[in-house]
Amino acid sequence: MMVNHMGSLSIWHLAILIVALGLVIAAIVTSARRVPNPGVGPSGFGGWLLLLAIGQTLAPLRTLSILAQSADGYRALQDSSIPNATLGIYAEVGLFTCFAAFQVFIIITMYRKRHFFRQLFYSQWIAAICVPIADWILTSVLLHIPLNSLVTAKDIAGVLGAGLLGGIWVWYVARSVRVRNTFTK
């Protein structure tokens, strides 16, 4: 479990996270409405799209590494007398495994150059923000641990940073002529 007792989560931290991510989403939606000329320009995995493809290919490994890093914590939690410990472990493993499977599906879609990759990539960005938050809430509810004992400002900053970085890539996918010309099947 991603249990961290070094700080606390306040309603203000969540409010800042929601507002910042809302601004990024608004910027992406606004810029995506402007459509460049279709069929003109580069296509295929090159330029910035190549970097995105590499990152996307490695994404499930990063997700699964989170579970691997938690293995000792799972063992300790399993051996503890905390109620619902096993259920909490299964919930977290299930959540991250499903997210990794979704990422693999997006990779397959990307390499097959499917036209709906762009929508899936956007959905993955939203899920990447929601999965840690859902994990925090599940852990809090199942293990009867207050949310402010589980989540620190550093945790929120990590989700916010990843959300902002992901938002930049979502903006790129929405605006790129290369992306539009590559994902046509």
Residues 137-155 have a mean pLDDT of 92
At residue 14, does pLDDT exceed 80? no
Amino acid at 10: S
How much is the pLDDT for 3? 47
pLDDT tier for residue 19 given thresholds of 50, 70 and 90: confident
Closest CA to 113 of 175, 179, 168: 179
Segment 82-116, tens digit of pLDDT: 899 999 999 999 999 999 999 999 999 999 999 99
> Is 181 in contact with 130 (CB distance < 8 Å)?
no
Predicted confidence band at 1 (pLDDT cuts at 50, 70, 90)? low
- Phi first, then psi: give them for residue 34, nearest 5 degrees: -80, 115
Instruction: Specify the amino acid at residue 13.
Output: H
Note the pLDDT of residue 38: 57
**Position 41 pLDDT exceeds 90:** no
Note the pLDDT of residue 33.
Answer: 52
Q: Is the pLDDT assigned to residue 158 strictly greater than 90?
A: yes
- Average pLDDT over every residue of 157-180: 95
Q: How many residues does the chain have?
A: 185
Q: Output the CA–CA distances (angstroms, integers) from residue 61 to 11, 36, 98, in the order listed.
A: 32, 34, 13
Q: What is the pLDDT of residue 146?
A: 93
What token pair was written down for 94? 């299930």
Helix pair 85-111, 47-69: axis angle to 10 deg: 160
Helices 153-175 and 117-143: angle between axes, nearest 10 degrees: 170
pLDDT at 185: 87
